[in-house]
Chains A and B, each alone.
Chain A
Amino acid sequence: MEFHVPDAKHVCFRMIPPRLAECLREIPAYLGNLSSRAERRFFPSPAEDADADELRADWKAHVEPGLHEYFGSSRDTVAADLRAMSEEDELFTLLIPENHIDAWLNVLNQMRLALAEDFELGETLGLNEPPNLSTPRGIAILQSEVFMFMQECLVRHLE
């Protein structure tokens, strides 16, 4: 898979092998069914103080619905780009309009955080150890690294 800037209005990831394309297509469904651990990570407490119950209740009532909506809208944008992915000679191209890059950054982050929670990857990430691909956890590490590569490409493009 490689990152490419075809014109001023788009960026793209091309030469995506079929297995990886499938893994990208799974993103909306995975995030549509968050585990309770991931849900807690996506909506953290706004305060550490034990006596901030009022703030926490306020946050849940007034801020979290907006965050839910924002995360969901980013997922919808990404899902639409994924549906438009094209294929040639068994390699896929994912074209991302410039104005969708923020949604992609957000969703790739959602995926990495959800995987980290679901497979307890926190301390494993960044160790550069080859994952054991015969286990679901190993596959989750590989997925997380692919999403990290995509995030890095998009961040560098914005800088």
Chain B
Amino acid sequence: MAAKIEELPVTKSKTETAPSWNVVVHNDPVNLMSYVTLVFRRVFGYSTERARRHMLEVHELGRSILWTGDREKAELYVQQLHGHLLLATLERAGE
């Protein structure tokens, strides 16, 4: 006789249920590469190497995901990036 497997209710922690958001920076032919790198270092606290890698991704691929996490913080990052006149948007992670 096969044992009956009892279905347990699935509970998710807050972190699992809240969707993650990406902070995306888009290419802009006007902003200087050195300036964009400086902004990434300042806003996200990234090393020069990491900031430069993201800057090159923006330049070559048209966009780069700079950060992923909760919406409130993502909005704050986009706000800061707009303050530096970069083209930045929020998007749900996984889209």
Nearest-neighbor residue (CB-CB) of A70 within chain B: B83
Q: B79, A63: Cβ atoms under 8 Å?
A: yes
Q: How many residues of B contact A (CB 8 A)?
A: 20
Are A151 and B32 CB-contacts (below 8 A) given A48-B89, A48-B91, A67-B82? yes
Interface-side segment among A8-16, A90-98, A120-128: A120-128
Are A43 and B29 CB-contacts (below 8 A) given A49-B91, A151-B35? no
Q: A109, B85: Cβ atoms under 8 Å?
A: yes
Q: B90, A123: Cβ atoms under 8 Å?
A: no
* Set of chain A residues within 8 Å of B48, measured between Cβ atoms: 159
Q: Does B75 contact A (CB under 8 A)?
A: yes
Contact flags (1/0) for B1-38 with A, using CB distance below 8 Å?
A: 00000000000000000000000000001111011001
Nearest-neighbor residue (CB-CB) of A126 within chain B: B29
Shortest distance from the beta carbon of A63 to any chain B beta carbon, whole Å: 5
Q: A152, B79: Cβ atoms under 8 Å?
A: no
Residues in B41-95 with C-beta less than 8 Å from chain A: 48, 75, 78-79, 82-85, 87-91
Give the interface SS of chain A, mostly helix, strand, loop or mixed. helix
Q: Does A32 contact B (CB under 8 A)?
A: no
* Set of chain A residues within 8 Å of B75, measured between Cβ atoms: 46, 63
Q: Does A61 contact B (CB under 8 A)?
A: no
Given contacts A109-B31, A122-B30, A152-B34, list 20 more A-B pairs with CB under 8 A: A42-B85, A44-B82, A44-B88, A44-B89, A46-B75, A46-B82, A46-B88, A48-B89, A63-B79, A63-B82, A67-B83, A106-B84, A109-B35, A112-B30, A116-B29, A116-B30, A121-B30, A123-B29, A155-B32, A155-B38
Residues of B within 8 A of A (CB): 29-32, 34-35, 38, 48, 75, 78-79, 82-85, 87-91
Top 9 nearest A-B pairs (CB, nearest first) are: A155-B34, A116-B30, A122-B29, A109-B85, A46-B78, A48-B89, A47-B89, A63-B79, A47-B90
